[in-house]
Amino acid sequence: MKHVISDKFYQLTNKLIPGGVNSPFRSFHEVGGKAIFMKSGLGAIIKDVDDNEYIDYVGAWGPLILGHRPQKIMNALKDITDKVMVTGAPHELEYELAFKLNKIMPSLEKIRFVNSGTESCMSAIRLARGYTKRDYVMMFEGGYHGHLDITLVSENHQSSTGIPDNVKINTVMAKYNDIDSVELLFKKHANKIACVIIEPVAGSMSVIEANHEFLHKLSKICIEQKTILIFDEVLTGFRVALGGSQSLSGVKPDLTCLGKILGGGMPIGAYGGKAQIMDYLMPLGLVYQAGTFSGNPLSMACGKAVLNALSEDGVYEYLEDMTHIFASNLTQFCQSKNYPIHIQRVGSMFSIVFSAKPVLNYADSLMIDTIKFAQFFHYLLDRGIYLPPSAVDAACISKAHKLEHIEKTLEVCYKALSNIYNLSTS
Ligand code: PMP
């Protein structure tokens, strides 16, 4: 596969944009090589600037649950752009999307729309602090909540320099799926913890479903401690089920953060929850949050179209069937060959984990063989299969993926794995 034009863009872009990318996820720094410049997409297929085609399992890192350019979203986009782009004033579509969202996720009694998942997590945390008048935030090692200071403080995983120590000291880190670690932190910081933020299905240390019993216990402790429970469903919202992972576990968070799929392909974020908490936001309360493009008509129109499409009969059954066929066949193949690989998935989000045992938390994720994953990634890429360039980030199947795409992908995966393991044992 040739990448002549892509390589040229890569060189040029690197001169003006750090690392050639506007988000580090997109670079191939974890797997080696150069990021590929894409130019178009339709259904399950994405095409690069050299006209190479790939079956796309990145799905724009989550949003494209209906595939690229689904007709219903394109129609909604055309209808709204025939009338308006952005006004900076309220628009009826904000009400319509909020109404639909409240029906789909009843824990969102009131909602604010913002522009990204990061913004939704940042705003929900500020609201929790303003409401409880406490400073501390509990999160889970290996969790990802966007690029806000307060959750990029781990000494071990995704973190950043440039975050002052006096910000870092307000974040305490528990272990995913480990209620003892949560209880210990509540004892140590009694009456100081404003909120606990958690991905109920983790998507950045491979796909890990939080144990439902663990989530129920977490919710109980939060109620006892008068701490706000925030579910970060930016990735899982409308992905693992229409009602998000909260509809699967039955645990009702105080606040929920959303993004990705909710915009139907347009930039969006949203957070919402109990009305008595949400009413602390300005102009009713004293917690400030604002945005020029928040609730803009284009994102609202596409959001409404995607939620309507996802509410149709059979969508989630289809996604489940396709992902099950993929995961069960690949699992069987790996077991029959004794390859140390696990397919971890919830609904249509999955990760192919190169590890001898399943990954249940951040420490387990460190055991993943990232070198073998990189070999696997490039073998697939060269044969027209586009996976996230990361051994731990979630891949996604969309409604546009047909059985023929899955079968072709399986065939290439079998060959890739045989190649990798036979070479490494010879
Ligand atoms: N939370 C989670 C769980 C995410 O997966 C992401 C993005 N990968 C974010 C927050 C941040 O969202 P955004 O990139 O839209 O800022």
Structure tokens given for 179: 């209620």
The reply to whether 348 falls in a domain is: no
DSSP state, 76? H
Q: Is the dihedral of CA 335, 337, 341, 346 positive or negative?
A: negative
- Residue 124 in contact with ligand 1 by CB distance below 6 A: no
Q: What is the overall mean pLDDT for the chain?
A: 97
Is the omega angle on the peptide bond into residue 200 within 30 degrees of 0, that is, cis?
A: no
CATH code at position 370:
3.90.1150.10
Q: Are 89 and 196 in the same domain?
A: yes
| Domains identified in the chain, total number | 2
**Contact (CB, 8 A) for 95 and 107:** no
Residue from 48, 56, 57, 260 carrying the catalytic annotation:
260
Amino acid at the residue 195: C
Identify the domain boundary among 310, 342, 377: 310
pLDDT digits (tens, 9 = 90+) for 152-211: 998 777 689 999 999 999 999 999 999 999 999 999 999 999 999 999 999 999 999 999
Q: Are 224 and 275 in the same domain?
A: yes
The reply to whether 351 falls in a domain is: no
- Which atom belonging to ligand 1 lies closest to the Cα atom of 269? 15
For residue 218, give the 3-state DSSP assignment: helix
DSSP one-letter string for 313-346: TTHHHHHHHHHHHHHHHHHHHHHHHT---EEEEE
Question: What pLDDT is attached to residue 237?
Answer: 98
Query: Which parts of 250-384 are beta strand (E)?
Result: 255-259, 269-273, 342-346, 349-353
Q: Are 193 and 284 in the same domain?
A: yes
The reply to whether 402 falls in a domain is: no
For 5, counting Cβ atoms within 10 Å of its Cβ (0-12 exposed, 13-18 middle, 19+ buried), the class is middle
The reply to whether 255 falls in a domain is: yes
Query: How far is the C-alpha of 288 from the C-alpha of 326, rounded, in Å?
Result: 46
What is the per-residue burial (b if ≥16 Cβ within 10 Å, else e) of 91-116?
bebbeebbeebeebbebbebbbbbbb
- Which atom belonging to ligand 1 lies closest to the Cα atom of 117? 12
Residue from 48, 136, 175, 232 carrying the catalytic annotation:
232
Query: How far is the C-alpha of 230 from the C-alpha of 329, rounded, in Å?
Result: 36
Strand (E) or helix (H) holding 197: strand 193-198
Q: What share of the chain is helix, strand, coil (3-state, %, to 5)?
A: 45, 20, 40
- Which atom belonging to ligand 1 lies closest to the Cα atom of 61? 8
Question: What pLDDT is attached to residue 155?
Answer: 77
The reply to whether 138 falls in a domain is: yes
Q: Whose CA is nearest to atom 12 of ligand 1?
A: 117
Query: How far is the C-alpha of 157 from the C-alpha of 396, rounded, in Å?
Result: 23
Centre of ligand 1 to C-alpha 61, Å, is 9
Q: Are 86 and 128 in the same domain?
A: yes
> Do the strands 201-202 and 208-209 form a parallel or antiparallel pair, or are they unpaired?
antiparallel
Q: Work out the number of other CB atoms within 10 angstroms of the CB of residue 261.
A: 28
- Residue 388 in contact with ligand 1 by CB distance below 6 A: no
Angle at 60 between CA 65 and CA 203, to 5 degrees: 80
Q: Are 139 and 287 in the same domain?
A: yes
The reply to whether 219 falls in a domain is: yes
The reply to whether 420 falls in a domain is: no
Q: Whose CA is nearest to atom 1 of ligand 1?
A: 145
pLDDT digits (tens, 9 = 90+) for 123-137: 999 999 999 999 999
Q: Are 197 and 276 in the same domain?
A: yes
- Residue 114 in contact with ligand 1 by CB distance below 6 A: no
Question: What pLDDT is attached to residue 1?
Answer: 92
- Which atom belonging to ligand 1 lies closest to the Cα atom of 259? 15
Is 288 a known active-site residue? no
**Contact (CB, 8 A) for 182 and 215:** no
Query: How far is the C-alpha of 44 from the C-alpha of 211, rounded, in Å?
Result: 31
The candidate with the shortest Cα–Cα distance to 12, out of 24, 3, 20, is 20
- Residue 120 in contact with ligand 1 by CB distance below 6 A: no
Residue among 64, 145, 198 to mutate when testing ligand 1 (max atoms within 8 A of CB): 145
Q: Are 23 and 79 in the same domain?
A: no
Query: How far is the C-alpha of 132 from the C-alpha of 310, rounded, in Å?
Result: 36
Q: Are 87 and 28 in the same domain?
A: no
Query: What backbone torsions phi and psi does residue 101 show, to the nearest 5 degrees?
Result: -65, -45
> What percentage of residues in the chain have a pLDDT greater than 90?
97
Query: How far is the C-alpha of 426 from the C-alpha of 421, rounded, in Å?
Result: 8
- Residue 380 in contact with ligand 1 by CB distance below 6 A: no
Q: Which domain holds residue 254?
A: 71-310
Identify the domain boundary among 289, 310, 331: 310
Centre of ligand 1 to C-alpha 5, Å, is 30
Q: Tell if the pTM clears 0.95, that is, is over it.
A: yes
The candidate with the shortest Cα–Cα distance to 178, out of 231, 218, 144, is 218
DSSP state, 174? E
The reply to whether 317 falls in a domain is: no
Q: Are 44 and 102 in the same domain?
A: no
**Contact (CB, 8 A) for 23 and 355:** no
Q: Whose CA is nearest to atom 13 of ligand 1?
A: 117
> Do the strands 349-353 and 395-396 form a parallel or antiparallel pair, or are they unpaired?
antiparallel
CATH code at position 192:
3.40.640.10
The candidate with the shortest Cα–Cα distance to 176, out of 231, 215, 221, is 215
DSSP state, 394? P
Question: What pLDDT is attached to residue 222?
Answer: 98
**Contact (CB, 8 A) for 405 and 68:** no
Q: What is the arrangement of strands in the sheet containing 349-353, beginning at the earlier edge strand?
A: 342-346, 349-353, 395-396
State the maximum Cα–Cα separation within the chain, in Å, rounded to a whole number.
68
Identify the domain boundary among 246, 277, 310: 310
Chain position carrying tokens 């699967």? 248
- Residue 396 in contact with ligand 1 by CB distance below 6 A: no
Residues of the chain with pLDDT under 50: none
Is 232 a known active-site residue? yes
Question: What pLDDT is attached to residue 154?
Answer: 84
Structure tokens given for 348: 């249509």
Chain position carrying tokens 């863009």? 9
Q: Are 89 and 1 in the same domain?
A: no
- Which atom belonging to ligand 1 lies closest to the Cα atom of 394? 5
Is the omega angle on the peptide bond into residue 283 within 30 degrees of 0, that is, cis?
A: yes
Q: Are 217 and 247 in the same domain?
A: yes
CA atoms within 13 A on the CB side of 333: 18
Question: What pLDDT is attached to residue 159?
Answer: 85
Question: What pLDDT is attached to residue 426?
Answer: 52
Centre of ligand 1 to C-alpha 289, Å, is 18
Q: Are 125 and 222 in the same domain?
A: yes
